[in-house]
Structure 1
């Protein structure tokens, strides 16, 4: 596994989302994934694999990973065996409304998310498709919305 240059700072930033950051670090050390609350620090948009594949025109993992990293320009991880992707967006985003709640739920306050350790950058299991460049670096909600719109349009087109 590749080690990101900002591994320590990123880990600490994510760990502080949890009241006891030592607990998150322990979960990462023991299982590679820590259960972190969405809310003030970050929210997440859950993207189903088929929606992502339709948007990108492929389900080839390597191509999907590179394309998501390029298109969203922010932190995205794959849930591993679940086939879900999670784009991390600014905390509090849920308060501003989200037009795609059914197709790509926005996970905010009150939701916990299994976040992989920053050193997990390849399968098996949950892994980072694209790490933040620095603590607090997140995907823009408009870029995630554009991906969802594209996936929905291409899915509808395929049904015709």
Structure 2
């Protein structure tokens, strides 16, 4: 994935999720990942590798990554070590999210290791799909459709 001029603005947007945004910039420079709080700026839906693989019928990382980016239309990163995917979404009350057990909604009180925008391939945490611009997030209905598809296919259904 090419680095675009908007990536600096995207990094700044993420960095400001925590007061004292120099913290995030330093962590990205030193280790490639910054620990940032979920909350009003963004939340995340944690998607297990097996759920995602069931949805797309493969565990081939290249195919999964392209399919996730196309289906969710927003920022998604992968923890390359655990093979969990994180779809970044707008904050909503947890009771509104229907898949809390299968794909937990991570909100206020949760910290995530957000990869630097230049990390677009394994090893380690990397972006499957960067935000198109600061504040761009995955639509909840797209993430819910992915979870429903993965659950149906892992249960033996076709849709």
Contact 1:43 1:94 in 2 (8 A): no
Question: What TM-score do the two structures reach when normalised by structure 1?
Answer: 0.95
Contact 2:94 2:105 in 1 (8 A): no
Structure with greater helix percent: 1
What secondary structure, in the 3-state scheme, does the structure 2 residue paired with 1:64 have?
helix
The CA deviation string for residues 82-110 of structure 1, in whole angstroms up to 9 with x for no partner, is 110000001x2235611111100000001
Aligned to 2:146: 147
Aligned to 1:18: 18
**Counterparts of 1:76-95 in structure 2 under 5 Å?**
76-90=76-90, 92-95=91-94
Unaligned stretches of 5+ in structure 2?
A: none
Aligned to 2:97: 98
Structure 2 residue 51 is matched with structure 1 residue 51: yes
Runs of at least 4 residues of structure 1 off by over 4 A?
none
Aligned to 1:116: 115
Alpha-carbon shift at residue 2 of structure 1 (Å): 3.4
What secondary structure, in the 3-state scheme, does the structure 2 residue paired with 1:19 have?
coil
Unaligned stretches of 5+ in structure 1?
A: none
Contact 1:54 1:154 in 2 (8 A): yes
Q: Could you say what the CA RMSD is over the residues aligned between the two structures, in angstroms?
A: 1.2
Q: Number of residue pairs matched?
A: 157
What secondary structure, in the 3-state scheme, does the structure 2 residue paired with 1:157 have?
coil
Aligned to 1:28: 28
The CA deviation string for residues 94-136 of structure 1, in whole angstroms up to 9 with x for no partner, is 3561111110000000100000001101111100000000000
Alpha-carbon shift at residue 80 of structure 1 (Å): 1.2
Question: What TM-score do the two structures reach when normalised by structure 2?
Answer: 0.95
Rounded Cα–Cα distance in structure 2 between residues aligned with 1:31 and 1:134: 24
